[in-house]
Chain A
Amino acid sequence: MASTTTPPRRKPPSRASVAVNYPLDWLEERSGLVGGTKYFLFRKVPGDINWMQTLGSATLTAFLIQLLTGVILAMYYKPDPNSAYASIVHITNDVTLGWLVRGMHKWGASMFIILMFLHMGRVFLFGAYKYPRELNWIVGALLIPIGLFEGFTGYLLPWDQTAYWATVVGININGTAPFLGPFIAQFLQGGAEIGPDTLSRFYSLHMLLLPGAIIGLIVLHLYLVVRLGVSSPPWSKDAAGMERPDDVQRGNGRAGLTRPTRRGGDV
């Protein structure tokens, strides 16, 4: 390698920096994860990005709140009609900070859904779903019904009157769909009536299948964001990618590479 033929002239690294770098180098050599993280953190974004463009990461934060509080709730919740309601009452009133965990999960669901819609509105306003970001719009649009279905399945779990009767109606609405409707209703219900089987189905969907699908789609969503970059606000005077008047005059010379201070200077 190059280092063996031409030894570096710099001072040899201190013991401290070796101690810090060794595990990082070890990890990098075997996985490339360090370089990947550096690329993620230090990749360039347009300098004119807007506060509205934080709505996506805000939605992610709301989802992470749901993951964290959901894992804690699952430690105390009992998905069985005979004890579900009692476990919810116990979590809310007796468990240390249980009210906070359940409250954050309950209200975080609404935050997640509101932020998802606001984020979608921002992308629509910016026209940021256009070439080459069409696929990312589709991934995001799939997250909306899945997120709503996550809300629907979670609503039953407290097993109180509100939960029970909202689910009765929701399942019956599914039943009105042509062809597949009755099968979907039957699948969700797991029996003639809403009971133990329904609760365990909703529990499984709510904490395994749907969050798994959401996580997978979010990873794909973020991969595409990093790969394709974030778009400038369309009204920006200096939007990345816009055609600039100089382009035509200067032929191949790219105005974007010229610093504003040099304009009209040595050209």
Chain B
Amino acid sequence: MATGVDRRRAEFKRYKEDVQSRGKPFFPFAMWHDTVMSLVVVVITIALAAIWYFDSGEDPEDVGILGPRYTAEADPGTTSFVPRPDWFFFFLFYLLRIFKWPESVILGTVGIPTLCLILLLALPFLDVRAERRIIRRPVALVAGVLVIISMGVLTYKGATAEEGISTSGDVVEQWMTEGNLPPEARKGAELVAESGCLNCHTYRGVGSPNLGAPDLTEIGAQDQGKDYFHRYVANPRDFGNNVMPVYQSLGDENLDAIAAFLDASRNP
């Protein structure tokens, strides 16, 4: 009447006896395989470094097949840079784009990643059967294949996501006429169109709604005033917003222009 625990212990005892009697010494048998594989890793790493370096140039604009050596120096005041994470965060990056509404964005940023991590850590306690052959572990097989497919798809979608909304003058022109905006809103409109705002916000159907950021088309309708928008964009933390970046470094002149544009955006 062997219980599950007894059976597992007996199997592990048998494993140790089998290894003792019929196994091979780690050195040189297994270590030989490990060494070959490790050399492959070192060679691939050196090859990637060499291709990356020799196919690119000192100028950040001189991009090789493996990318530039570096992009331009960080500039917090820049108004036209599209943020992208390193490739191994693409899956997370794209997960965020699936949950767009304020109520569910937390699922993408925290909920699903945390749940996946808990499931990963708890796996040995969720799957307690002794069977190790994958063909006889249908649930594990399906779950494993689904994880690989979803990670692959999310990484691919993240890599090819539509970024950097085209910021031709046409968009600004269209906003000015459709929204019936005053001329003093033009500079702010250009800043919003060129900068990263439209990676999260939308304006008259342009942009990609992300992280629960609101549509800005009628943002001024509540008559909160230019000063309010200036202070909000400069430091959203003061208004309890921990998601939107701080844009203090755009400078007062740019912030005034953006505030004027937002304040004037009242027409549907």
A interface list, Cβ under 8 A from B: 40-47, 49, 51, 53-55, 57-58, 60-62, 65, 81, 85, 88-89, 92-93, 99-100, 102-104, 106-111, 113, 115, 121, 124-134, 137-138, 141-142, 144-145, 148, 151-152, 155, 158-166, 168-170, 172-173, 175-178, 181-182, 185, 192-195, 229-231, 234-235, 238, 240-243, 254, 256-257
| B85 beta carbon closer than 8 Å to chain A | yes
Interface string of B71-102 (1 = CB under 8 A from A): 11111101001111111110010001000000
Q: Residues of B at under 8 Å CB distance from A? A: 8, 11-12, 14-27, 29-31, 33-34, 36-38, 40-42, 44-46, 48-50, 52-53, 58, 60, 66, 69-76, 78, 81-89, 92, 96, 105-106, 109-110, 117, 120-121, 123-125, 127-134, 137, 140, 144, 148, 196, 211-212, 235, 237, 242-246, 248-249
**Contact indicator B38/A141 (Cβ below 8 Å):** no
Interchain CB contact under 8 A, B244 and A164: no
Contact of B87 among A62, A110, A169 (CB under 8 A): A110
Query: Which residues of A have CB within 8 Å of B130?
Result: 130-131
Query: B14 to A175, Cβ gap below 8 A?
Result: no
**Interface residues of A, dominant DSSP:** helix
Residue pairs across A and B with CB atoms within 8 Å: the count is 278
Top 4 nearest A-B pairs by Cβ distance?
A103-B49, A241-B15, A127-B132, A44-B23
Task: Give the residue of B21, B49, B110 whose beta carbon is less than 8 angstroms from that of A256.
Answer: B21
Q: Report A-chain residues with C-beta under 8 Å of the C-beta of B11.
A: 241, 243
Which chain A residue lies CB-closest to B30? Answer: A45
Q: Tell me the minimal C-beta distance from B240 to chain A in angstroms.
A: 9
The residues of A that contact B20 with a CB separation of less than 8 Å are 44
**CA A257 to CA B23, docked complex, whole Å:** 11
Given A103-B50, A173-B109; A161-B44 close (CB under 8 Å):
no
Contact B45 A62 (CB under 8 A): yes
